[in-house]
Amino acid sequence: MPDKTFEKIKQELKKGAYKKGHYFKYFTLATLGVDKFARLRLVALRNFSDDLKMTFFTDKRSKKVLHIKENNRVSLLFYHHKKLIQLRIEGIARINTDQFQIQKSWEKIGTEDRKDYITAEAPGSTIDDPAQLEYLKEGDYFSIVEIDPFRIEYLRLKRSGHTKIKYYLSETGWKSEYLVP
Ligand SMILES: Cc1cc2nc3c(=O)[nH]c(=O)nc-3n(C[C@H](O)[C@H](O)[C@H](O)COP(=O)(O)O)c2cc1C
């Protein structure tokens, strides 16, 4: 297994979670809508743990949460614009219900950023005037979503030759195969 590349992927994802402006700070998350349409949106990577768990924050009234509750298999897409690296990740998502962790994360969020999770109406609701958006004083809609990947497809474009590697979780741990890029 090309361990060196796997380690580099982990390092870059870690940087994405903690380094401002890193190309892996935002990723496209795909869920399957109830109408069986693929639904895509950008979210911010908030944590990447040593066991590869990826975390993002959201409003529990949002569509993506509804989708995940219906079907917890999700796809993620990261792109490193400078290194020309694409990561296509598949995993299992779960809504973290640990109140202690939710509270701890909530306390670290600044007043302005909290607004993302305390709109009076649910995200995606129709409104007459965006300037009249109302916020709740407090809200218990803030939620943490964690994704455990089971497949990572790495693609690096290079003039001298592209590299594509598939990493997948087996019963004995992560394994890999080179693929035709
Ligand atoms: C740069 C950027 C970062 C975003 N980060 C998040 C995020 O971390 N969490 C989130 O719920 N929505 C985030 N959004 C908004 C989502 O893309 C999306 O519009 C919203 O969450 C509603 O999605 P849904 O209706 O599919 O659930 C972000 C949007 C942009 C443009």
- Quick one: pLDDT at residue 180? 97
* pLDDT of residue 181 exceeding 80: yes
pLDDT in tens, 45-72: 999 999 999 999 999 999 999 999 999 9
As a whole number of angstroms, the distance between CA 36 and CA 89 comes to 20
Whose C-alpha lies nearest to ligand 1, atom 6?
43
Report helix, strand or coil for 46.
coil
Distance in Å, CA 42 to ligand 1 centroid: 5
Query: Does the structure show a pLDDT above 70 at 113?
Result: yes
Query: Atom of ligand 1 at shortest distance to CA of 39?
Result: 26
Indicate the burial class of 143 (C-beta count within 10 angstroms; 0-12, 13-18, 19 or more).
Answer: buried
- Ligand 1 atom with minimal separation from the 65 CA: 27
d(CA 10, CA 118) in angstroms, rounded, equals 33
Query: How many whole angstroms separate alpha carbon 72 and alpha carbon 32?
Result: 9
Q: Nearest 5°: phi and psi at 65?
A: -70, -40
pLDDT at 151 (0 to 100): 98
| Residue minimizing CA distance to atom 30 of ligand 1 | 42
Q: Are 153 and 145 in contact (CB under 8 A)?
A: no
User: In the predicted model, is pLDDT for residue 1 greater than 80?
Assistant: no
Q: Three-state SS for 43?
A: strand
CA distances from 44 to 22, 33, 77, 167, 178 (A): 11, 20, 12, 23, 29
Q: What is the mean pLDDT of the chain?
A: 95
Q: How far apart are CA 86 and CA 83, in angstroms?
A: 9
Residues flanking ligand 1, CB < 6 Å: 26, 39, 41-44, 56-58, 62-64, 123-124
Q: Whose CA is nearest to atom 18 of ligand 1?
A: 41
Note down the domain range covering 66: 3-125+133-179
- By DSSP bridging, strand 54-59 and strand 73-80 are unpaired
pLDDT, tens digit, 9 for 90 and up, residues 128-163: 999 889 999 877 899 999 999 999 999 999 999 999
Report the atom number in ligand 1 closest to the C-alpha of 46. Answer: 8
- CA-41 nearest atom, ligand 1: 17
Distance, CA of 145 to CA of 57 (rounded, Å): 6
Q: Take atom 10 of ligand 1 and give the residue whose Cα is closest.
A: 58
What is the number of domains present in the chain? 1
CATH number of the domain at 100, please.
Answer: 2.30.110.10
> For 138, left (φ over 0), alpha (ψ -120 to 50), or beta?
beta
Q: Which of 40, 42, 77, 95 to mutate to test the pocket of ligand 1 (most atoms within 8 A of CB)?
A: 42
